[in-house]
Structure 1
């Protein structure tokens, strides 16, 4: 009689051995591989799409944004070449074309600006050039190549820092040969974007080329005495009155200027700007900080041509200068003409002279029908001149010749 088999315990499941993937029954193997295939295909498709997108984004160059030539909301700045959120004037919206306040129609085609050479020459051991001119600056000697920096220390005693800006630093200095006061401007080479040629064929930064064109004996522009090219810097030696002050501090020390003093200084600035335009140079950064006043003679001198360029009849589509002095057509439309934009900045300058402050508060938006508020103590002729310069439509602004012939400039009181 065979032995009896042990009866399994009721209520407890029989333990199943843990099977490997190879031992999986077909009923369970199919869902497993179906999930693996689906995950693999999904990962492959997502990776393929991402790789294709990256390939296309690198293969197709992104188009450069074109400046808006039609009215629209003010845009933010692209460095020094796009409309900036002006600290003093940033209009929020331009009127539609066809309205009375729409302003001049934008150019039908993109005007081509006259741009000097952008290629920056490689660093050299050191060279210098003397710019002929009258006064204590006329020194035609040229330091030997490679010894320019050593010659600079031997010729000048550098003093205190006069100012620092986006283009470099300016120091007070004294020429050791005759004790004449000078200003030494140091600009790092990597901040110089435009180069051109002097009449003798020498490659030089555009600022030096422009100064060479305008500072040839004219007293209203600071004379360029000498310039040096060092491995890492460009050095400019400029004339400096012994006792001088920039117009910003000159106004601040007095609160505001009387109309008589303002007329005397403003006429000199107009003559300096007219001289520059007659030489084919556009300053583009006229403001009190860039006007030097000789405290002994009240002679005004225009300085700092770092934002300057060549004057052209067509519209500019790149801006350089101080945003709070930019004209409304640039803020609204993204283009401006050189001469009307200069008149706008001169109007702000005259307002600062006689009122002691910028005409537009920080963050204020200028509407096309804005009314400029002026102190009642100003003569009617002075108020009219400021309002004419700060007209929203650039075609309605006076020319430099009109300003020089204005009754206020001639001290003529109209009935």
Structure 2
């Protein structure tokens, strides 16, 4: 629990990230640490959002969601934290606005700046953090597009990003993924999807 507090305090640094749950206060007792965090309105886990989604998700919604996850994970990495437990149940999403928050830093690890820190602190390398982030993004994107009906084809850019994430293309940072064509305004939306 103390590592969770430590990593959460690191990611709260200025400027804060809108896509990471806010830590307001913390208290120590004899046998535990109590964390007081924000409770985003009208939010459910991304797992519940996908499961109970009325109609079907769109590629455009998937893009909005994945972009926010990239921003949150990149912010963590810049602060020296590897979330290490990013999955559909550790992401809260507002059902109306699609605003999301990364939660649960209980499994987070520090990012080592040197090989000796990896050994002594049990930290992970920056490359490991980025690779793990890419694997997470691949799984989340697959879960999101799984609900898109088969008659709506995904854009070339979306399928290209999926392939690059799956094939473990080397990204320097998670932020570099935002330079991919899928995130550009001119990218092709799925045919059959209304604007």
Name the TM tier (shorter chain): 0.7 to 0.9
TM-score normalised over the length of structure 1? 0.39
Q: CA deviation at 1:295?
A: 2.8
Structure 2: state its 5+ residue gaps: 120-126, 189-195
The SS at the match of 2:92 is: strand
* 2:21 paired residue among 205, 222, 243: 222
Q: CA deviation at 1:375?
A: 8.7
Residue 299 in structure 1 maps to residue 96 in structure 2? no
2:170 aligns to what? 397
1:407 aligns to what? 181
**RMSD of aligned alpha carbons:** 2.7
With a CA cutoff of 8 Å and minimum separation of 6, indicate the structure with the bigger relative contact order: 2
* CA distance in 2: counterparts of 1:397 and 1:273, whole angstroms: 16
* CA distance in 2: counterparts of 1:244 and 1:400, whole angstroms: 25
Within a 5 Å distance, the mapping from 1:9-408 to structure 2 comes to: 192=1, 205-216=2-13, 217-254=16-53, 257-312=57-112, 314=115, 337-356=128-147, 377-391=153-167, 394=168, 396-398=169-171, 399-408=173-182
Note closer, same or farther for the CA distance 1:375–1:386 as it changes in structure 2 (3 Å cut).
farther
* CA distance in 2: counterparts of 1:289 and 1:267, whole angstroms: 17
TM-score normalised over the length of structure 2? 0.79
Does the 8 Å CA contact 1:227/1:234 hold for their aligned counterparts?
Answer: yes
* CA distance in 1: counterparts of 2:185 and 2:170, whole angstroms: 21
The higher radius of gyration belongs to: 1
**Which aligned runs of 4 or more in structure 1 are off by greater than 4 angstroms?**
313-317
Q: In proportion to residue count, which structure has more helix?
A: 2
Does the 8 Å CA contact 2:40/2:94 hold for their aligned counterparts?
Answer: yes
Q: CA deviation at 1:257?
A: 2.1
* CA distance in 1: counterparts of 2:46 and 2:21, whole angstroms: 14
Query: What CA deviation, in whole Å up to 9, does each residue of 1:229-257 have, x standing for no partner?
Result: 22233211110112111111111112752
The SS at the match of 1:236 is: strand
Query: What CA deviation, in whole Å up to 9, does each residue of 1:178-205 have, x standing for no partner?
Result: xxxxxxxxxxxxxx5xxxxxxxxxxxx0
* CA distance in 2: counterparts of 1:214 and 1:403, whole angstroms: 20
Note closer, same or farther for the CA distance 1:297–1:376 as it changes in structure 2 (3 Å cut).
closer
The SS at the match of 1:337 is: helix
* CA distance in 1: counterparts of 2:118 and 2:88, whole angstroms: 24
Query: What CA deviation, in whole Å up to 9, does each residue of 1:42-75 have, x standing for no partner?
Result: xxxxxxxxxxxxxxxxxxxxxxxxxxxxxxxxxx
Q: CA deviation at 1:348?
A: 1.0
Q: CA deviation at 1:271?
A: 0.7
Number of equivalent positions: 175
